[in-house]
Amino acid sequence: MLGATSALCAEASDNWAKNCAACHGPDGAGHTKAGRMAQVKNLTDPKYQATFTDEQAAKQIKEGFKDSTGKEKMKAFGDVFSDAEIKALVDYVRSLQSK
């Protein structure tokens, strides 16, 4: 079981680097050109992280995010990641917050 957990953690960081970091930045702060254009939130901010549950984060990863006008701000990854990979990504996002 421990090996499976560490494998998911490594996989989550790889998935983050390949699919999320272009907008959210390698550290989650969102200080990228694409992140500024999409107005992504700073995932290193504990106050921001307190505004959403793990379930809400998983849903957003799975279904994507559209603004109030219906414009896609984040593509859906439900067809890219399994539920276990999405859960691992949520755990990874939680690990990004500053202490």
How does residue 9 score in pLDDT terms, banded at 50, 70 and 90? low
Q: State the CATH architecture for 2-95.
A: Orthogonal Bundle (1.10)
pLDDT in tens, 12-36: 999 999 999 999 999 999 999 999 9
Whole-prediction pTM value?
0.86
How is the chain split into domains, by residue range?
Answer: 2-95
Residue 4: predicted pLDDT: 46
| Residue located via tokens 């390698």 | 26
pLDDT in tens, 64-88: 999 899 999 999 999 999 999 999 9
Joined tokens for residue 2: 């421990």
DSSP 48: H
Output the CA–CA distances (angstroms, integers) from residue 35 to 3, 28, 67, 82, in the order listed.
34, 10, 15, 25
Residue 75: predicted pLDDT: 95
Joined tokens for residue 79: 């067809």
Do 48 and 41 touch, CB atoms closer than 8 A? yes
d(CA 97, CA 65): 21
